[in-house]
Structure 1
């Protein structure tokens, strides 16, 4: 452990391991997060079409808010004046905010990256905005998120090695500035560094080692799940995770499918976020123990079966597939809400299953059974 990291209190307790898979407990000012954890994404302070109560009842300990969208509307200073993001939204529990860097890179065509900051035009009103590492930390502190992320530059893959290395080194310099800017944060709040390096293993390792030298409460792996094959993502995890401190949480940003989660936990990742459960729910896709089900398909029109009669989430076992198909085809908002809830609940059930399996030394058994169930669902879908 570096002396820098040694200066930081550790709020993560590693409770058990099974191979590289880990289960633990992360204590935040607004509650405890059980890991492995999946964070549903409430981009603009809301989960599209889903009540916070249902997100909580589905088993989520922590949710994600988006700094880019919230700083543009309604504004970080306004949210601070209204009591912070937890009170403003009514969620009340642990929240992580990303730095806004990814959205700046992906949403704003008019942007300029310099050593000092990234400047861009708001997609709402065209206003010119500067986001420096210091301002990114300031905004997240105004939002009062339990876990803040450093500002980084995320390069879309595929990219050339020179561009990947340039962005990685800039992100490291920004990481140091974020760490200094976060020094005045109250006790219990956390700042995570972000490993960059694209699809180049040596750059990933160099980035991870440099971040550990700077010292953070936790470490994220960024710049993946941006279109590269799953095998490349898993290779980058395998290169990076062993370099990160075992006693700090590891967060894979923007990931992913249930299979991505299972494979990544197997390789030592503790935290995840992704819009997939709600975005795909709005487009008629339900995630189940037996794989994804596309309820837009005509074959569901007369299907009286529920999605999963054994699901602990009531809508998954009580509504007929025919009814869910009807809601989606009719454009009824209830269809998107029900499928989003069902998907959030399934992702949380998957994480709970992994936590229990790791704690009892049965992760490989859980892994094989889960994979077999998904495969069986695909076969059943083709036969029916």
Structure 2
């Protein structure tokens, strides 16, 4: 797809959406995020349900109002965070057909149920432009029975999400033209047949777009491009494909060539906080993605070689960081643990991603 229509807004694809999990892209203000060329963010439904909560969000109107963000807002379902918590601490919860059961402590004193309906209601309180159905994350080490169960439960939950979504649209008087979009998530882990089954069942239910869900790495720890291709082939070309949690610049380029349209990942912001920056090997307008030569590399700004380096982080970059500051200064800021180091590093990495999107949009 070349364009995403959300209400009266038109977005040229592909888009990269940094994670603003709790209503903030860590290290930058909303205005700074927009200034580097980012058009949308992803927020987390479960974390925003915890704080500030739906009462505050409803009073303010949306998380966009809370964070002074005027761009696209995607709310993920909150499922991945819940499943990660339960996987690490099995006594703190369990997955049932009804929803996700959480306990206040390992002694299970107080029980909370988070259902597909709860997820959708919360996403309406968030005021998201694109909402994601709650899905049953396929466990990496799951048995064949558990993986099949994940696909079936994901379909059942998606159906319940759509029912609640349509109910909320009617309640709020939203037409098809001005309502949010609802995406479903395809599960099945590394099993092509299960991925195809999941895709077909969700297509039959009817959604505005489809997400590549589950763990994206194969048994060797490499990105599973084969499964990504299976999902791309199994989903319609007139519906946007969302590569959830993806990824590195190299991942994004390959998946865009497969037909994926939307991407979100913590990498550019997390890498920046850990002093890992993205640097072009040549001007971006000269890059040939099909060539054998690597088109970018990582620069680790904490290394001693940069202590007195007067050059910018990337000679081919015109982001505010590279235009105004040297490697030596950024190295210095990290060494003295000043918060400006995070701001300058994150600005650079997000600029890199935004410029990559512009190049891919022209292809």
User: When the two structures are superposed, what TM-score results if normalisation uses the length of structure 2?
Assistant: 0.87
The equivalent position to 2:243 in structure 1, one of 228, 252, 267, is 252
Trace 1:223-234 onto structure 2 (pairs within 5 A).
223-225=214-216, 229=220, 233-234=224-225
Partners in 1 of 2:110 and 2:37 — Cα distance? 39
Could you list the per-position Cα deviations for residues 252-299 of structure 1 after superposition, in whole angstroms to 9, with x for gaps in the alignment?
A: 100111111111111111001001111111111111223211111122
**Change over 3 Å in CA distance of 1:334–1:70 after alignment to 2:** same
The Cα of 1:229 is off from its aligned counterpart by: 4.8
**Change over 3 Å in CA distance of 1:34–1:310 after alignment to 2:** same
1:148 equivalent in alignment to 2:131? yes
Partners in 2 of 1:156 and 1:322 — Cα distance? 44
The Cα of 1:122 is off from its aligned counterpart by: 6.3
1:131 equivalent in alignment to 2:91? no
- Partner of 2:338 in structure 1? 332
**Change over 3 Å in CA distance of 1:287–1:156 after alignment to 2:** farther
- Partner of 2:297 in structure 1? 291
Partners in 1 of 2:116 and 2:123 — Cα distance? 11
**Change over 3 Å in CA distance of 1:229–1:62 after alignment to 2:** farther
1:169 equivalent in alignment to 2:169? no
1:119 equivalent in alignment to 2:119? no
- Partner of 2:186 in structure 1? 195
Partners in 1 of 2:313 and 2:139 — Cα distance? 36
1:346 equivalent in alignment to 2:324? no
The Cα of 1:29 is off from its aligned counterpart by: 3.7
Higher relative contact order (CA 8 A, sep 6+): 1
- Partner of 1:48 in structure 2? 26
Could you list the per-position Cα deviations for residues 328-365 of structure 1 after superposition, in whole angstroms to 9, with x for gaps in the alignment?
A: 12111000111111111101111111111x2xxxxxxx
- Partner of 1:372 in structure 2? none
- Partner of 1:5 in structure 2? none
- Partner of 2:290 in structure 1? none
**Change over 3 Å in CA distance of 1:122–1:89 after alignment to 2:** farther
The Cα of 1:161 is off from its aligned counterpart by: 2.5
Moved more, 230-239 or 87-96: 230-239
**Change over 3 Å in CA distance of 1:232–1:169 after alignment to 2:** farther
Equivalent pairs counted in the alignment come to 333
Partners in 2 of 1:348 and 1:159 — Cα distance? 36
Could you list the per-position Cα deviations for residues 70-124 of structure 1 after superposition, in whole angstroms to 9, with x for gaps in the alignment?
A: 001110232111111111110022100000000001134211111111111469x
Runs of 4+ aligned structure 1 residues displaced above 4 Å come to 226-232
**Change over 3 Å in CA distance of 1:274–1:227 after alignment to 2:** farther
- Partner of 1:182 in structure 2? 165
- Partner of 1:205 in structure 2? 196
SS in 2 for 1:148: strand
The equivalent position to 1:319 in structure 2, one of 316, 320, 325, is 325
Partners in 2 of 1:330 and 1:293 — Cα distance? 19
Instruction: Decide whether the 8 Å contact of 1:309 with 1:318 is kept in 2.
Output: no
The Cα of 1:230 is off from its aligned counterpart by: 6.5
Instruction: Decide whether the 8 Å contact of 1:224 with 1:254 is kept in 2.
Output: no
Structure 1: segments with no counterpart, 5+ residues: 1-13, 15-23, 359-384
Partners in 2 of 1:122 and 1:275 — Cα distance? 28
SS in 2 for 1:287: strand
- Partner of 1:103 in structure 2? 81
Partners in 2 of 1:196 and 1:319 — Cα distance? 45
Moved more, 175-184 or 96-105: 175-184
